[in-house]
Amino acid sequence: MRVTLLGTGCPQVSTRRYGPSSLLRWNDRQFLVDCGSGVTQRLLGAGSAGKAIDALFLTHLHSDHIIDLFQLIISSWHQGRDRPQRIFGPPGTRQYLHGLMALWRPELDQRIAHEKRPSTVALELNITEVEPGIVLHDGDLTVIAVPVRHQPVKAAYGYVFTDGRQKVAFSGDTAFCPELILAAKDADALVHECFIHREMLALPGVRGLETIENVASYHTLSTEVGKVAAQARARCLILNHFVPVAFDAGALLAEVRADYEGPVLIGEDLMQFDTATGMVSHGDAVVALPLS
C-alpha cells in the first residue's frame, strides 16, 4: 500500500498545507480519504487524477473535509471519467450531495447542452452512507469504518484499509479514541490528525481562549498522539491535518517521542509512504524507514 498525503492543513489558509485529504493506492486501485481544498491539484501533483479514483471515503461532513467535492466531480468529468463517482460517508452525505448537485444544476445543464461532451456518467453519484464495520470489499481489500470521537459532530469515522498482509489506518478528526486504537492495532501506518495546543494563541477578533479550548476538545493533542500510536503498536506514525498549520516541528517531534518509539513522519503535502518497503519520498528526497 502507498499512502500519499495530499493536504495536511486545516481551515486556516496555507499555500504549503492544503485542506485535509489523503490518497491510498493498493494494486491498481486508488482511494481518496476526504476532499479538502486543493485536492484536485494535489492529485495531479501525486501523479493521479480525479478520473482515476475508485472510491472517496469521507470521515465527516465538516467543511474543510468536503469543500472541494464539487471540484472533484466536475474536474473528473472534464478529465473523461467513464463511471459514476463512488462516495462513502456518514449519515447526511446523501442529503449534502443531492443539495450540492442541485445548487450547480443550472450551470451543469448549460454546460452539458453547450459543450456536447461524449458522456455525463461522471456526474452521476453512487452514494453509500456508512455504519460502523466493514463498508467495502474489493478483492482482498477490506475497508472498515471506525466511529471516532469528534463531538458535537454526530457521526465521524476513521477508516482502516487492510488486505490481510498490510494495514493502514486513518484517524479522521477525533479526540483521544480507544475505539480507533483497537481498530488500528499493528497497522503498518497510522495516519493521524494533530492539534498543537501550545501553538494556538488567542488573537483578538479571531479566536479567544474559549474558542481554542472548544476546538482542542474534539481533536487529538500533540501530547496525546504518541500514546495513541504506542497503544496501537503502529509500525509508523504519520502526522497530518495539523492545527495550526505553522508550528515548531522539532518541538512537536519531541512531544510525540516522549510516548512513541517508532518512526514518526511530520506530514507534508505530497509526502508518500510505501508500507511494503518503508520508503518515504517527498520532492527529491527518498529515505527508508527502519520498520520493525
pLDDT in tens, 119-143: 999 999 999 999 999 999 999 999 9
Is-contact 122 73, C-beta < 8 A?
A: yes
Per-chain mean pLDDT for the chain:
96
Q: Looking at residue 166, what is its pLDDT?
A: 97
Instruction: List helix spans (H) across the chain.
Output: 39-45, 63-66, 69-78, 93-115, 178-183, 209-216, 225-232, 249-257
Could you please report the per-residue DSSP string of 216-233? HTTS-BTTTHHHHHHHHT
**Per annotation, catalytic residue among 28, 34, 54, 64:** 64
Q: Which residues does 50 contact at the CB level (< 8 Å), separation at least 6?
A: 40, 43, 72, 73, 75, 76, 79, 81
- Percent of the chain having pLDDT more than 70? 100
Q: Is 117 helix (H, G, I), strand (E, B) or coil?
A: coil
Residues 175-221 pLDDT 10s: 999 999 999 999 999 999 999 998 888 889 889 999 999 999 999 99
* pLDDT of residue 18 exceeding 90: yes
The residues facing 265 across adjacent strands are: 238
* Residue 82 annotated among the catalytic residues of the structure: no
pLDDT at 291: 78
Res. 292: pLDDT tops 80: no
Residues 227-279 have pLDDT tens digits of: 999 999 999 999 999 999 999 999 999 999 999 999 999 999 999 999 999 99
- Tell me the per-residue pLDDT of 45-103, one tens digit each, with 9 for 90 and over: 999 999 999 999 999 999 999 999 999 999 999 999 999 999 999 999 999 999 999 99
Closest CA to 30 of 76, 67, 62, 66: 76
Q: 23 pLDDT exceeds 70?
A: yes
pTM of the model: 0.97
| pLDDT band per the 50, 70, 90 thresholds, residue 144 | very high
